Amino acid sequence: MPEHPSNVRNAVFKTATKAASSDIKPHRSLFERLTALISPEPESRVELLEVLQDAHERNLIDADALSMIEGVFQVSDLCARDIMVPRSQMDVIDISKPIEEWMPHVISTAHSRFPAVEGNRDKVVGVLLAKDLLRYYFDEEFDVRDMLRPAVFIPESKRLNVLLRDFRANRNHIAMVVDEYGGVDGLITIEDVLEQIVGDIEDEYDFDEEEDNILSIDPGTQGARWRVKGLTEISQFNDIIGSHFSDEDVDTIGGLVANHLARVPHKGDKFAIGRISFEVLRADPRQVHVLLIERLPHSENDVDLL
């Protein structure tokens, strides 16, 4: 005898409910729902970073993870001019000269890539990979011009996040930074961009020499800018910048910045002490790594620290 239609419907309903219940995630607890109501999702980047910093303080994420996340945000705020190697600091080869003249420089600097210029630094004709020079020792008809790879030119205002995407898409590792008039302002590598996220990437040829602590970006008597490592001693900073900061309480410029802010500096922090402007380019939850320093015009109300 066939079952009553209502019984069939009930059986189907029970079977479907049982199957569906196995796919449904457990309901959130009352505490979780109240927490979500009281603490809504962050609505801005600043709020998101505050949540992440709070998570670090409660040991939910470690310092390295927080530093990398902050670095990802910072990359979208920085442009090529902020981290490029200045024109005066570039290691280049001049292919208008015999190879014997610049080969010792290639060996001593030990870079993997060199901008190749012809006569002056504004005339970049390509990029030479150091490994391609091996053929010089085995090929009697070696011509360095045949070894050059095309040079990539970018404006100094190009954002680092866009540049990193281009580096990956084009499988390129180096770009020449040019100003509005087409003159070469400096160079930037994919390693420079990645270091903004993961911190310094050191290899066997990197040296922590004191003279590299401060790099001049815009030499001049007014408005000069420098990239300064946080571990630079205040005495060295004063000698080069011409300031008069005291080193009685702290030894490094990073310590000076932390004392001034009364906290560990964050990426993007901007402030001035006297006639010196500070901007934190790279930092982690423990210390500041790189600062952008600018000398400001004189004002009668300035504290005499310069």
Rounded to 5 degrees, what are φ and ψ at 270? -130, 135
What's the pLDDT score for residue 33?
Answer: 55
Neighbours of 246 (CB within 10 A): 10
- What are the residue ranges of helices labelled H in 171-219? 190-198
CB-based contact 267:279 (threshold 8 Å): no
Mean pLDDT over residues 31-51, rounded?
64
Dist CA 292 CA 242 (whole Å): 16
What's the pLDDT score for residue 12?
Answer: 41
Domains (range + CATH), the chain: 80-195 (3.10.580.10), 211-295 (3.30.465.10)
| Band (42; pLDDT cuts 50, 70, 90) | low
What's the pLDDT score for residue 174?
Answer: 94
Dist CA 263 CA 242 (whole Å): 26
Chain segment 278-295, per-residue pLDDT in tens: 998 877 767 788 888 998
Rounded to 5 degrees, what are φ and ψ at 97? -105, 160
Chain segment 147-166, per-residue pLDDT in tens: 999 999 999 999 999 999 99
Neighbours of 67 (CB within 10 A): 20
